[in-house]
Amino acid sequence: MSLLWIAVIAASVLSFVQKWIGYQAPQDVLERPRIARITRLLPIALLGALVATQTAADGTEVVLDARLAGLGVAVVLLLVRAPFLVVVVGAAA
Tell me if 78 sits within 8 A of 87, measured CB to CB: yes
Q: Which phi and psi angles does 58 have, rounded to 5°?
A: -135, 95
CA distance 68 to 54: 10
Q: Rounded mean pLDDT of the chain?
A: 91
Q: What is the mean pLDDT of residues 37-57?
A: 90
Size of the chain, expressed as the number of residues it contains: 93
What pLDDT is recorded for position 56?
84
Q: Cα separation of 80 and 27, whole Å? A: 39
Cα separation, 72 vs 62, in Å, equals 17
* Residue 90 DSSP label: H
Phi first, then psi: what are they for 60, rounded to 5°? Answer: -105, 10
Whole-number percent of the chain with pLDDT over 90:
58
pLDDT for position 87: 94
More confident residue, 77 or 62: 77
